[in-house]
Each structure stands twice: as structure tokens, then as C-alpha cells.
Structure 1
Amino acid sequence: MKNAKNTAAELAVETTILSSGNPFRDLGLSNPEERLFKSNLALEVRRLIKERDLTQQEIAEILGIDQPKVSRLLRGQLSGFSVEKLFLMLNKLGRKVEVRISEEGYAPQDADLTVSVG
């Protein structure tokens, strides 16, 4: 005989939530476009760091920051890292950073920030 008590998994109802494509917007956080832009920059910095297979101390010396900051960056803790600082880190890791401002007629709410790698 089946136990009358159902587990949480048995009671769970499958729910599908459509994403806007920006998890920061989906979570209702302030400045979602800026957060996504900064996050994408940090992901590229992280990828380049991992690609080099160096210690955090060696990376800290290359980037001109201390090792605990490298650790925070690798864990995605981005407070204290400005977009400008991430641009400089990309430069120090051998990447050229270009900022392009388009004249396309976007309404302010439709304008966006993007990161392109390649």
C-alpha cells in the first residue's frame, strides 16, 4: 500500500517561466542591462584567466590587483569591479576593447548594452 504522505517532489507542480533573456530583469533587480553587461565582461575576464592556467597570485600580478580580489572575481562577486576596471583587465589580458555608439533610432527603453567577443 502506498504511503498516504506525498513527498515534496510528488506534490511539485511543473511551472514554465518565460525569460526575458536577462536574468537580472527576470529577478526584478535594478539596472538589469548594466548588470548583464558587467556580468558578460566579467565572464570574458574569467574565461581568459582560466585559459592561462596560472595561479590566482600570478593573475593578480598581471591584473594589478590583490589575490583576494581575483578570487572574488572568479566567484562572480562583482561589487568593487567597475566596467572601466573590467575593460582594463581585458587589456592586461591581451584583449582590445572597443566601445561603439550607434545612431540607430532606439527608444530609450529599447536601447541596450552588449558585449561581443571575437
Structure 2
Amino acid sequence: MTRTSNPGTRNVLYELGFEDAAELTAKVQLAIRFNDLIDERGLNQREVAALTGMTQPKVSQLRRYKLQNVSLERVMQALVSLDQHVEIRVRKARRSDAAGISVAA
């Protein structure tokens, strides 16, 4: 997680200078959905670990948004384990859009 200055964006992680801001943003958005699902279903961390194949400490990290040691792919797989459809779309950037990564969760 190296930091470089990139002022003037709409993403606070870019503005704080995180080179991996796009990936961190995607992980946060997916982790929010993951945590919402757990709350909606009233699951505890042990139950989530059993459903997702993750360890309980890894579930705890995700619950607390400690995302440094959790891959984007792992978060997506966890969502699939919770009966979610994760879709990745690649398209040409429009003039009104900057090239980059976005997640809708």
C-alpha cells in the first residue's frame, strides 16, 4: 500500500494517496454487502466461516473492514457462498467517465 499524491478525485482513498485505491474501494463496497448479508441473516462468525470456507479470524477481519490481508477474489467468493451473484463488467470508458474500476453492491 504505497501512497502517492493524487488530489481532486471523488475517491478519498485516491486523495489520501493510496496507489491501490481502486482495489481497496472495490473491497470495501463488497465487504459492506457481505456484512449487510450477515446482519440480515443473523449469522455469527462461526456460521459464516462454515458457509464460506473462511477461517473465523478472516471473517472477523472482514467484519471489521480490516481488508489488507483479504483478497478481492476472496471477498467475491464469500459473497457467492452467501448465494450472491457477483458480476464483473468491462466496457470502454465513455467521455464522461474516467477509466478505472467501480463496484455496485
Question: Which of these residues, 41, 46, 55, is aligned with residue 57 of structure 1?
Answer: 46
Q: Name the counterpart of 1:39.
A: 28
Q: RMSD across aligned C-alpha pairs, in angstroms? A: 1.9
Q: Normalising by structure 2, what TM-score? A: 0.81
Q: Name the counterpart of 1:23.
A: 12
Instruction: For 1:104 and 1:93, locate their aligned partners in 2 and report how far apart those are by CA, in whole Å.
Output: 31
Question: Which of these residues, 53, 64, 80, is aligned with residue 75 of structure 1?
Answer: 64
- Please tell me whether residue 95 in structure 1 is matched to residue 84 in structure 2: yes
Decide whether the 8 Å contact of 2:93 with 2:99 is kept in 1.
no
Instruction: For 1:58 and 1:105, locate their aligned partners in 2 and report how far apart those are by CA, in whole Å.
Output: 43
Write the letter of the residue equivalent to 1:102.
Answer: R
- In the TM superposition, residue 22 of structure 1 has moved relative to its aligned partner by 1.2
Q: Name the counterpart of 1:111.
A: 99
Write the letter of the residue equivalent to 2:86.
Answer: V
| SS in structure 1 of the partner of residue 38 of structure 2 | helix
- In the TM superposition, residue 47 of structure 1 has moved relative to its aligned partner by 1.1
Which consecutive unaligned segments of at least 5 residues does structure 1 have? 1-17
Write the letter of the residue equivalent to 1:54.
Answer: L
The structure number with the bigger radius of gyration is: 1
Which consecutive unaligned segments of at least 5 residues does structure 2 have? 1-6
Q: Normalising by structure 1, what TM-score? A: 0.73
After TM superposition, the runs of 4+ consecutive aligned structure 1 residues lying more than 6 A away are none
